[in-house]
Amino acid sequence: MAKSDDYKKRGVESAATRLPVTADQFLQMVEQVKDYAIFIMDPKGYILSWNAGAERIKGYHPSEIIGRHFSIFYTKDDVKSGLPQRELEIARSVGSMSQEGWRLRKDGSRFWAAVTITALHDKDGVLVGFGKLTRDATERRSADEALVKSRNMFERLFESAPDAVVVIDSHGMIRKVNQQTEALFGYIREEMIGKRVEMLMPERYHKRHRQHRKNYFADPRARKMGIGLELYGKSSDGREIPVDIMLNPIDTPEGIWAFAVIRDITAQKQSDAKIAELNEALRRQVDALAATNRELEAFSYSVSHDLRAPLRHIIGFVDLLNSRDISGLDDKSKHYLQVITQAAQRMGNLIDDLLSFSRMGRADLMKIQVDFDKLVRDIVRELTEDARDRSIQWEIAQLPTVVGDAAMLRQVMVNLLANAMKFTRPRERARIEVGWEERLTEVLFFVKDNGVGFDIRYVNKLFSLFQRLHSNEEFEGTGVGLANVQRIILRHGGRVWAEGSLEGGATFWFSLPKEGH
């Protein structure tokens, strides 16, 4: 390999042959240059002079370096390869040479040097030595390397992007595409580069898109393309692809270009269609369920009213019989009349509860600020009026204000507190507690008693219509009260549940959403 070729391989950029430079001319140049290491060498490369810039950059005092060979600044590998001598030979033959490479300081540290060696001649053109200028280019090299890394990273991100990316200029010509663009549209990039971007869209969009492109480059900014419109791309086989496009302007030496990120939304479209289909099916089911509920409520309301007439007759005639002289009836007949009366009364209570349950389903919620503490204490006062002969210990916390239908929430607490009083009747000293807990989005309330409790295995039956865990002989009831509680709380957007054990008391919980949740 020729010497010049060898230097080209090492990044050497040789200057064109110049007129010979004298040592005096070189020294005049030195005085005008700052921040350079500048020194003169004899024809063999031994240092003859040393400026302040050389001392600063390389770390040698003039007394330490003058008379030494300039190869001291080169790495061992460069010295072994004969690089210093070849540089002098090139400078001698062509007048000067420039290159960049690693050089050494006195302390052994390396720096990236931009070097120029110039051959020096006397007035007769005879070579008298060499002048060498060295600049510390480490920071610039680091910046260049960082820029290269940044560009490489951008290229990797550009190529590996999950969406198609197309770069176009202001004339609508495709300048750059990534791998995903090839995969999405079915073209290889050589078929797209230099072509108009309209090749990637259905023909019906071409004219409109050209106008939109002009408008965009008149006011380039990051934005979504075709807001409110359905956009489609066109693949190489003519297939239309639903797409979503985001535009970003980029500044280039050739002007503003557009960076278009194109996402295939075929799967999203299919999902949206499926969701719409499911929503429509759900809407039909909800409408059917609402219609069924209305029919059931109307039915229960009608049946309840229709049952009242014969029930009134039964109770009325039993009262007439009891008002007559029944001393002639035997004990069994008198018992029959008593059973008829009790059954009719129980039937009346059941009809009242059914009507209440039906009304709760039809009534509109009238939500207001409800002082729950006052509401509960009023109910307790009313209930204890009819239970003065009992020993009941009430523990009622200071309850908060909530948002809800006051009449319905009153019905909830009447049911829960009346139940607590009923199921604590066997206790010599009943204890009933009302409290609450605050959560992030809801408020929890509870009514706790030390009554007979229930078998936790059947907890799911508690809130079902007509479901009872105790016989009528043990405790009176219709099995509608807790179903009503659940219905009211669900309509408020809350939930209900219970905890308890046989002979271990019971705790009934319900939640109400906080305002705004």
Is the pLDDT assigned to residue 209 strictly greater than 80? yes
What average pLDDT does the segment 104-132 reach? 91
The answer on 485 and 372 residing in a single domain is yes
* pLDDT tier at 2, thresholds 50, 70, 90: very low
What average pLDDT does the segment 61-80 reach? 93
Please state whether beta strands 255-264 and 164-168 pair in parallel, antiparallel, or not at all (unpaired).
antiparallel
**Residue entry with tokens 């005879």:** 126
Q: Are 373 and 485 in contact (CB under 8 A)?
A: no
Q: Which of 323, 341, 358 is the last residue of a domain?
A: 358
In a domain, 38, yes or no: yes
The answer on 506 and 373 residing in a single domain is yes
The answer on 261 and 149 residing in a single domain is yes
Q: What is the pLDDT of residue 14?
A: 34
Q: What is the pLDDT of residue 321?
A: 77
Q: What is the pLDDT of residue 1?
A: 39
pLDDT, one tens digit per residue, over 305-332 is 677 677 777 877 777 877 777 777 787 8
pLDDT, one tens digit per residue, over 231-251 is 899 999 999 999 988 888 988
Q: What is the pLDDT of residue 79?
A: 92
Q: What is the pLDDT of residue 459?
A: 82
The answer on 503 and 375 residing in a single domain is yes
Q: What is the pLDDT of residue 12?
A: 32
pTM score over 0.75: no
The answer on 254 and 125 residing in a single domain is no
Q: Which of 326, 358, 390 is the last residue of a domain?
A: 358
Q: What is the pLDDT of residue 389?
A: 81
The answer on 501 and 370 residing in a single domain is yes
Q: HSE-up of 348 (CA within 13 Å, CB side)?
A: 14
Beta strands in 385-455 (DSSP E): 392-396, 401-405, 430-438, 442-449
The answer on 119 and 32 residing in a single domain is yes
Token pair in block for residue 192: 């797209």
**Of all helices (H) and strands (E), which one includes residue 73?**
none
Domain that holds residue 309: 269-358
Q: Which of 136, 153, 177 is the last residue of a domain?
A: 136
Q: What is the pLDDT of residue 169?
A: 92
Q: Which residue has the higher pLDDT, 4 or 506?
A: 506
| 460 vs 364: CA distance, rounded Å | 27
pLDDT, one tens digit per residue, over 437-469 is 999 899 999 999 998 888 888 788 887 765 565
Q: What is the pLDDT of residue 363?
A: 61
Is the pLDDT assigned to residue 44 strictly greater than 90? yes
Q: What is the pLDDT of residue 352?
A: 67
Burial call 357-369: b when 16+ CB within 10 Å, e when fewer: bbebbeeeeeeee
In a domain, 7, yes or no: no
What average pLDDT does the segment 265-270 reach? 86
In a domain, 9, yes or no: no
Token pair in block for residue 267: 């799967």
* pLDDT tier at 6, thresholds 50, 70, 90: very low
Q: For the chain, how many structural domains are there in total?
A: 4
Q: What is the pLDDT of residue 469?
A: 59
The answer on 387 and 508 residing in a single domain is yes
* pLDDT tier at 13, thresholds 50, 70, 90: very low
* pLDDT tier at 45, thresholds 50, 70, 90: very high
**Of all helices (H) and strands (E), which one includes residue 371?**
strand 367-371
